[in-house]
Structure 1
Amino acid sequence: MSRDAYLGTYLNDHLAGATGGVDLSRRLAAAERDTDYGPELRRVAAEIAEDRRSLLEIMNGLDVVLARHKAALAWAAEKVGRLKFNGKLFRRSPLSRVVELEAVRLGVEGKAACWRALRHRAVGDSRLDVTALDRLLERAGEQSETVERLRVRATTEAFG
């Protein structure tokens, strides 16, 4: 397998993760819309969706063929992930907020790792925009800080 083929597989895996991340972050923002978590979560969810579009643009620029089945599987996995026992039957539990914030944070950290890998490759690949990747990395750092701050608050509220 060539390096470009490995890169294509890697980026398709990240696209699958981004697909699930967009769904999860939007669902979390919607669930928290009437709380003081809502505004920041809506902003983060919108940025995560923008970052997914940026990844698609990068993949297009690198002539990576989309593996649509991976994105479909990620979408389905996010839906199945909603079926978890959280101590409440018909409404959200404080545990739901904690677990979902942790999942979003993990997704943001994974995305940042992808941007760093592409940033490293950009040194020798003129199809990649170093400045754009630096902006994406900076935004991922800001998202991570925001989600972590909210997660810490949620754990205090849930666990004391």
Structure 2
Amino acid sequence: MARPGGTAPLAQGAARGVVAAMAMSGLRTLSGALGVVRETPPEAIVRERGPSLLRAVPERGERGVIELMHWAYGAVGGAAYSALPRRLRRRWSTGPLYGVLLWGLFEAVMAPLLGLRRTRQPRPAERVALLVDHVLYGWIVGAGSPLRDQRR
């Protein structure tokens, strides 16, 4: 049995982060098929700033590598969420707010630092779709926390 404060909560958070990133991918597939999202943030990063990351990857495997990168980022975000103070994680709203915060940080800080053109174009429907999938991410990362079970 893992000790409180050990690596188990981080691993559980990372696992929830991977599952949440997978759920986001499903939602983005739907919004892409509906024509709402033309290009996801991970695709934009690789296309505009990271082609060298995929140089050794056969073209048919590029989408898979981009997806794995997204899941890894989701894992890091989930692990970071699990490190938040307990009093925050006990609130049902913390997970969705965390997801929105991650998206906001990407849009306000990371995308401009990376020089991504996508953030300079007005796309209200696409932004709403990305907001919704980050709420989904946060909801999944924050759901099922053992802390919630202890409150009952």
Pair in the same fold by TM > 0.5: no
TM-score when normalising by structure 2: 0.33
TM-score when normalising by structure 1: 0.32
Q: Which structure is richer in relative contact order (CA contacts within 8 A, separation 6 or more)?
A: 2
